[in-house]
Structure 1
Amino acid sequence: MTPDAGTEQADQVAQTGAEESLETPLAERVEAILLIVDEPLSLVALAAAVHAPVPAVRQTLETLVADYDGRGSGPRRGFELREVGGGWRLYVREDHDDLIAEFVGGQAPARLSQAALETLAVIAYKQPVTRGQVASIRAVNVDSVVRTLLARGLITELFADSETGAINYGTTDQLLEHLGINSIDELPPISPLLDDGADGFDEGVIR
């Protein structure tokens, strides 16, 4: 097979895969992406992810919002779709905050992994910090670790960046209680190690 023939075959496979994915209803593709994002996704980025025009995705989002709110033929859902900081993301409804807190608090305590400890240390010393910035410092994907820390109540979402929509994270009072300190300022100083934002975290400062 010649190089040109190989390239042509690869292009045909890629095109076939894209065409097959587009056979799935747009609403399903949008929901699939929204279920896995940890930060609000812009309309343009979402449209690119589902291979659909921006106007069509915007209309789909409006339809999903109405559906989740019970304005369609079905009941209201326990979650909602909101636009925050210029991006879209699924959230648990505030009505269920107490239920979620009770569920999370009732889970059997487990020791944090080394990866979770290191990620928690980065957030503690660099807060407010986005998930992308934490991933850059640790040079690994931290999506699942951040979800674990959120579920354990050790970190919280502070605010969404007004320009990018990225969520900024910080530590909670619960973490202070676990560490036996009154303020995050009581953590051991490591400022000399923060010149490049990477040193000082691999050893898991918080135990």
Structure 2
Amino acid sequence: MTSDGGSLSLDDIRRGVECLLFVSPTPLTAREMALALEVDEALVERAARELVSRDPSQSGLMVREVAGGFQMATRPDYAVAVARFVGKRAQKLSRAALECLAIIAYNQPCTLPEVDAIRGVDSSGVAKSLLDKGLIRELGRKDAPGRPVLYGTTEEFLVYFGLKSLDDLPDQAVLEQMVSERAQAVLEETEDASVEDARRMVEQVFPPDEQDPEDGAQADAGEPLQSL
């Protein structure tokens, strides 16, 4: 192969991209695939984007753009059948975990006391679960009394929610409204309808399914093929 991809047609490159994504357990960048195929990165980028936009009726598999790269996954339409076949249900995040994760995502880097102040409850257990799942990570310590740990989201967070980057997060106004409703409910010391409204707003940011706090993390945006 030549370095400019002259010995491969775009169809060849597209098929090569599919092969690489099929065997990779993590998203691949166009550069990584170009090095493996020994072709021009721009051609790989073009081929990958064509796969992303491919007619869904052509295959039960899809290529999605996540975490700054590309990943092959099964289509959400077949999630139930896939889960039944592999003998497990797609794992979900609890509503409490989604609240904590949304706050960190929009305010990173932030500390657990800051998250607690917004949620009105202790978040240490939820944060530990998110750390174990690889959805958040420690970014250092804040220059404040006690030097609390600063947290932010990870690349796995982007993969889980099918985001190309943090720029793809929904409008923060959704979260701000949730925070306002939640804070009012805490002041009133009641779990009334306003809390349920707030939680529904969180679901608009990160749609949950099952609400078991101990559930693991796997996105509905498509099951990564390598996890099957």
Aligning the two structures, in what range does the TM-score lie when normalised by the shorter sequence? 0.3 to 0.5
Structure-2-length-normalised TM-score: 0.39
Structure-1-length-normalised TM-score: 0.43
